[in-house]
Structure 1
């Protein structure tokens, strides 16, 4: 089981963590939504639950809850800037379909 973060994503996460003195980690997961089924969530967290899976990479701690892990296992998290927009980008090998607007995805 793994989650990978690119250098750009790591730098962005480190900036977020530094701005919140109580934040211990980045929580990555999914929620049900949209026309395809799931959407990614990325939040700061000050707690790590017993059933969380913890991934450490280059000084950044990423936690994933047990329900989300099968849906995001193997995902690479990147951070991209496009014009005035900036966002996390997810390369998830489990995705079999995405909605037209790119906000949600489905897994096989």
Structure 2
């Protein structure tokens, strides 16, 4: 079951399952932090990492017991996004479907607004 915060970021069941597996292997809580940094091919790039705790100002969305955390600065750039986990012949990766992005790159890890 998925719950959304007012920020409307969300995690697909596929992404939640992958985060849970990684977190279990690393003995960490099942919390994925999505942040945005300057750089990449298109101006901004997504950064993913497991989090140890929820910060007071984080936006939090939960799917199947796994939390997606986004800081307020990054949230302005990714509000409305969906984080998915996809496997293909080219490899497996977390992908962000970001309705705010007006440009992207072939690698899928950077975007422009």
TM-score by length of 1: 0.87
- In the alignment, does 2:86 pair up with 1:80? yes
Q: CA deviation at 1:60?
A: 0.7
1:100, 1:86 → 2: CA distance?
Answer: 15
- The answer to which structure has the higher strand fraction is 1
- In the alignment, does 2:98 pair up with 1:97? no
Q: Deviations over 1:66-87 (max 9, x none)?
A: 1000111111111111115111
**In structure 2, which of residues 51, 63, 88 is the aligned counterpart of residue 57 of structure 1?**
63
What pairs up with 1:1-108 in 2 under 5 angstroms?
1-83=7-89, 85-107=91-113
TM-score by length of 2: 0.84
Which stretches of structure 1, 4 residues or more, deviate above 4 A after TM superposition?
Answer: none
Gap runs ≥5 in structure 1: none
State the SS of the aligned residue for 1:21. coil
Across the aligned residues of Structure 1 and Structure 2, the Cα RMSD in angstroms comes to 1.7
2:96, 2:41 → 1: CA distance?
Answer: 18
Q: Residues 15 and 33 (structure 1 numbering): CA distance in 2 closer, same or farther, change over 3 Å? A: same
Number of matched pairs: 107
2:20, 2:45 → 1: CA distance?
Answer: 23
Gap runs ≥5 in structure 2: 1-6
State the SS of the aligned residue for 1:34. coil
1:43, 1:35 → 2: CA distance?
Answer: 20
The answer to whether the 8 A contact 1:24-1:47 is kept is no
